[in-house]
Amino acid sequence: PLSAIQVNEVILINPGELVPLDGYSETEESVIYDTIATGSILPRVVKKGEKLLAGMRLADDAFPLCLKV
């Protein structure tokens, strides 16, 4: 459950899943859909250290993403 996640914890997000919490990418590179934040329907590449918002979705064919919350 989300209530069990602590600050600075790293969680794994699998392809096709939604980002459950705001945080920063700990993965060198992955692909997300950030429609919720930008309105764009096109996927974009995210790199390590980039801020991700809850509700963004990891692309179906992307590498798993580690998120530091």
Distance set, CA 9 to CA 4, 33, 49 (Å): 10, 23, 14
68 exposed, middle or buried (CB, 10 Å; 0-12, 13-18, 19+)?
Answer: middle
Q: Is residue 10 over pLDDT 90?
A: no
Tell me what pLDDT residue 47 has. Answer: 93
Give the pLDDT band of residue 33 (cuts 50, 70, 90): very high
pLDDT in tens, 37-53: 888 889 999 999 999 89
Asked if 20 and 48 touch (Cβ cutoff 8 Å), the reply is no
Q: Is residue 19 over pLDDT 80?
A: yes
